[in-house]
Chain A
């Protein structure tokens, strides 16, 4: 193996990475405890394989595949928001019921007040922002541990939801636009168009990055790795699109059912925006810094309190979208919307996907991958005839395993570092 040395970035000698050295570096990071989403991706493959073999007729059907997205949308949205909170080493236990409250705000405005969706949806999102602001101020300014603040809010919002629903009524919605958000599908043309756009866009960004860094004589990822990433995304998206554009109605003559669920691009857009914010903006950098070493961040002049408040705002805001989507799916809201296992599944999704409970480590995509793991367990075990009790026990064990991986990785990192 020949390695070429290059002098870059103002004269620092560096080894020009090859595909082999890139893989070696990655493996080194994994061994050093930086596993990221690797365990979740492997887990997802294993689970899909098991359920696919055991229930090939149902689990592997296009209908079931589409259901995975619509069923898990709420959890995935809350989990994406929770990543920000977890990055600071905080927790938001109220996000589940916050999403229920926001969903109820929308339903009440739509149904009881007859307002259009373009008023009701922003109002629900605003409710989420206000809730997050409240939680964040209590944590950052009064210094109450987030565990306590959000535990109180968990109870409180449950009560708020019950009160809003006049002691337990169901409120149904009839607005077609809202219902389509988490029930509708894109046309076949739109499905393929967006998939191609996503791959082309990703390829453009990746290749442009390599080109501009190379032009400035900075080290770039080897082109083989970049092409592999682009190819991987293309295979994944095109295969999923091919499956989802199949007819999946039981009786297509009555009601045709095909196309990528509308909620998929909604999740994708949220993931792209928040990944951009976290990875490419000053704000995101400061979130990581506060999560990694609050004192260092403070000394660097970062407004720590404002960052702390902002992550709760983002979390509750994302929970509000989760609430909108779950109300859309059920076409109604009830006192348990956002209750039962939603919050625990959301925390589980973020952590299983590779977000650290100790703060400072995690990505938005972790929430999506972890959400997929939870959705597959919930869905697959259901199809195999396991009871709810058994599903909860297994999901709990998976969460525990993910948290153990996190804790062990942290130990390992402190052993290999410094």
Chain B
């Protein structure tokens, strides 16, 4: 596959007050590939995503997009680059319909009037390009959709804008077996269409089913980023739970990181 990453993070630091959540995190996202981002609860996956999408400002590090260093200060900046995020807590409005949600914040207008017809057509085309045929009407309120359908709408919303990178934060966490399979198929299709896809997931089966690369985050540090074909389930599990697996992962903690409590020249 393509050798140059579409999106590359280097040395990302992020703290919330006194708590440092991300330490020197690097990540590369390649076009046409699904990169799985794994890690235990609280490892910092969602925080990393929000840093990429401009919801949180980063404290340090660089973001490179198509070889150029970029500064992302808001979700709009991210969208302008072609980076779209499907959030864990679905960012959909229950009181709006499918089309209205897909165009939220980027409505098409003719003059000052909303151009509903064009939006409906574009939404329909996008859903068709993703081979989605499971919604009754594009004008259905999102409140009336099933979990899988809502996830589909959220993903379709992300690809509506000729996006280059789509990041999905645990898109299958709340879904049943059949709907999970549907969503994973959709994720794979995004990459096959040439997008760079980042899939955050807890589920090893999901990860190995669709991803080309796996990046494991451990306590806010990037333990390893490897090709999915080069590793086994159990190695990834070790990386998630311990930050290392054989010669993969973070170096063993250095003694200097421990506080010296031996009696002696204490001040």
Which residue numbers of A lie inside 8 Å of B, CB to CB?
8-15, 32, 34, 212-213, 216, 218-219, 280-282, 285-286, 288-289, 291-293, 295-302, 360-361, 413-414, 416-418
Contact = CB atoms under 8 A, between A and B. Distances in A.
B259 interface: no
A296 B96 CA distance: 11
29 contacts: A8-B124, A10-B121, A10-B125, A11-B125, A11-B128, A12-B128, A12-B138, A14-B136, A15-B136, A280-B114, A281-B109, A281-B113, A282-B114, A285-B104, A285-B107, A288-B95, A288-B100, A292-B94, A293-B91, A295-B89, A295-B91, A299-B53, A299-B55, A299-B75, A300-B106, A302-B105, A360-B93, A417-B94, A418-B146
Interface in B67-97: 74-76, 79, 85, 87, 89-96
Nearest to B105: A300
B127 interface: yes
Nearest to A356: B95
A219 B95 contact: no
B41 interface: no
B95 A292 contact: yes
Nearest to A212: B117
B91 A296 contact: yes
A302 B144 CA distance: 24
B76 A301 contact: yes
Nearest to A281: B112
Contacts of A10: 121-128
Interface of B: 53, 55, 74-76, 79, 85, 87, 89-96, 100, 104-107, 109, 112-114, 117, 120-128, 133, 135-139, 141, 143-147, 150
Contacts of A285: 96, 100, 104, 107, 114
Contacts, number: 122
Q: Is the interface of A mostly helix, strand, loop or mixed?
A: mixed
Contact of B79 (A11, A15, A301, A414): A301
A14 B137 contact: yes
Contact of B94 (A14, A213, A360): A360
A225 to B, nearest CB: 15
Contacts of A286: 105
Contacts of B136: 14-15
B135 A12 contact: yes
B127 to A, nearest CB: 6
Contacts of A292: 93-96
Contacts of B87: 299
A15 B140 CA distance: 13
Taking each of B109, B124, B146, which has the highest tally of chain A beta carbons within 10 Å of its own beta carbon? B124
A288 B96 contact: yes
A201 to B, nearest CB: 16
Contacts of A302: 104-105
Given A9-B125, A301-B105, 9 more contacts: A9-B124, A11-B128, A216-B117, A289-B93, A291-B95, A292-B95, A297-B104, A299-B55, A414-B143
Please name the 6 residue pairs, one residue from A and one from B, whose CB atoms are nearest each other, closest first: A9-B124, A300-B105, A10-B124, A10-B125, A292-B93, A292-B95
A13 B134 CA distance: 9
A289 B127 contact: no
Given A12-B133, A293-B93, A218 B120 contact: yes
Contacts of A417: 94, 141, 143-145
Contact of B123 (A9, A34, A219, A297): A9
Nearest to B80: A301
Contacts of B120: 9, 218
A187 B139 CA distance: 44
